[in-house]
Amino acid sequence: MTIGERLRVLREERKFSQRDIATKTGLLRCNVSRLENRHTFPSVGTLEKIARALEVPLYQLFYKCGGPPKLPNPPKRRTTDDIVWGNSGKDALMLASICRLFSRMKEDDRKMLFFMAQKMVKRKAS
């Protein structure tokens, strides 16, 4: 069902003539007819005027049923806990194995590894 057909149905349900709508909206009767017959497309401002004249909420010009359609459930937003690397899945297993390996290393070897990692990060940032 197009906007024009919907306008006509709502107008006829309320027993208004095109002239009644034209008087209430400030439009010309021929413009109301052109809208209903799909010769022109209404602007949002015109739709608001017509909805007020028909005494209906604006959304009823677009939907046949009693209310607007239900929106689909939006996807759940990811929290910072979900985004953190090593929080779940394969990343968590890898992090656990890295921690286990670090715990077995000698303190001097661990310090050298961290020193090299810092150097690599600084070099890449430059």
For 78-106, what is each residue's pLDDT tens digit?
777 667 777 778 888 998 898 899 899 99
Average pLDDT over residues 36-54: 91
C-alpha span between 43 and 61 (Å, rounded)? 13
C-alpha span between 27 and 34 (Å, rounded)? 11
Cβ 46 vs Cβ 13: under 8 Å: no
pTM, two decimals, is: 0.51
Cβ 46 vs Cβ 27: under 8 Å: yes
Straight-line distance from the first to the last Cα atom of the chain, in angstroms, rounded to the nearest whole number? 62
| 125: pLDDT strictly greater than 90 | no
| 69: pLDDT strictly greater than 90 | no
pLDDT confidence of residue 81: 67
DSSP state of 100: H
CATH topology of domain 3-61: 434 Repressor (Amino-terminal Domain) (1.10.260)
pLDDT confidence of residue 76: 79
The residue extents of the domains of the chain are: 3-61, 95-126
